Amino acid sequence: MKTFYVTGIDTEIGKTVVTGKIAAYLNRIGHKTTTMKPIQTGCVGIAEDILTHRSIMGIKPDKFDKDHITNPVVFRFPASPHLAAELEDRTIDFELIKTSLKTLQNEFDCVLVEGAGGIYVPLTRDYTSLDFVKENNFPVIIVSSPRLGSINHTMLTIEILKNRNIEIAALIYNMFPPEKNEITKDSINMIKYLAKKLGFDFPFFINPYSEKLTDKVDFEGLI
């Protein structure tokens, strides 16, 4: 059994699409895989990111989705989890998240845990996504992109994970939004170069731009 935490260098970076595509790939090569969104804001019912994962994976929501095991905490207000919880006068139930994750780990070969926003997003006033990842000893998959500023944001994410002694399992360079070829090539090369200077040699994958979210992508070497 393997569990990965998927984080982005920013919000709206493509974590949900990439998570769905990794899950589809792992299922395709024989690893029974599901996804989890521990905390979703900005919706009601089954977490919208889970529904997107299932659509990309080409399957319907299963009993774990319908029973909110894959999406145990959902808030209506589209904001950082700490604020969304406060606005509903609720406390995030981390024990429920832990129990739900354990259930999935017992049922699947691989669980992809999609975080909310970037790695330093506050889940409470005193507890961040970074704390959550460290506490659970998750290897992290970073989702980057060609957008301007991505070198800086990517390297800051890599640096903080290094400082916390958190394993980086892979980096996915998500080609959305499309950018000038010169920028894309250079930022890919710079991120690889700077990561190597920090002592990293993790797998580096590119998720090509496509309007069809169900296009297959090969993540060979991730597991």
Q: Helix or strand or coil: residue 20?
A: helix
Question: Which residue in the list 2, 32, 37, 98 is annotated as catalytic?
Answer: 37
2 is catalytic: no
Q: Which residue has the tokens 């090539």?
A: 185
Smallest CA-to-CA distance from 37 within 59, 21, 57, 15 is with 15
Strand extents, DSSP E, the chain:
2-8, 33-36, 39-41, 73-75, 110-118, 122-124, 127-128, 140-144, 168-174, 204-207
Q: CA 73, CA 32: separation in Å to the nearest integer?
A: 24
Residues annotated as catalytic are 37
